[in-house]
């Protein structure tokens, strides 16, 4: 999947019988700090309650989520390390 494509999945709130299904999408963006060669890349997708993070080299692997305050702390820490 290329950057800025939507990743659709069935909501955990959907019924198990195939009816009343709700699909939701995440819009993944590649980090601007990722190298142009395609290695060392992460992608993020934001929602109001979570920031989803995955390895762009293998998007089929599970991703992990952080709350907005944990994400802000991570970004501050990473920026301080880059200086």
Question: Would you say residue 1 lies in a domain?
Answer: no
Q: Rounded to two decimals, what is the model's pTM?
A: 0.63
pLDDT digits (tens, 9 = 90+) for 40-80: 688 888 888 889 898 888 878 888 899 999 999 988 998 88
- φ, ψ (nearest 5 deg) of residue 77: -65, -50
pLDDT at position 20:
62
CA nearest to 58, candidates 34, 41, 33 = 41
User: Which residues form the domain of 33?
Assistant: 6-82
Question: Would you say residue 34 lies in a domain?
Answer: yes
pLDDT at position 3:
40
How many structural domains comprise the chain?
Answer: 1
| Rounded distance between C-alpha atoms, residue 30 and residue 5, angstroms | 11
| Rounded distance between C-alpha atoms, residue 1 and residue 6, angstroms | 9
Question: Would you say residue 66 lies in a domain?
Answer: yes
pLDDT at position 68:
92
- At 74 the three-state DSSP class reads helix
% the chain with pLDDT above 90: 13
| Rounded distance between C-alpha atoms, residue 76 and residue 83, angstroms | 11
């Amino acid at each position: 999947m290329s950057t800025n494509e939507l990743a659709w999945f069935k909501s955990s709130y959907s019924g198990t019988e195939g009816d009343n299904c709700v699909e939701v999408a995440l819009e993944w963006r590649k980090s601007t700090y990722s190298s142009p060669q395609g290695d060392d890349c992460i992608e993020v997708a934001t929602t109001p309650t979570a920031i989803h993070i995955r390895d762009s080299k293998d998007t089929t692997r599970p991703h992990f989520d952080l709350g907005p305050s944990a994400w802000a702390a991570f970004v501050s820490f990473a920026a301080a390390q880059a200086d």
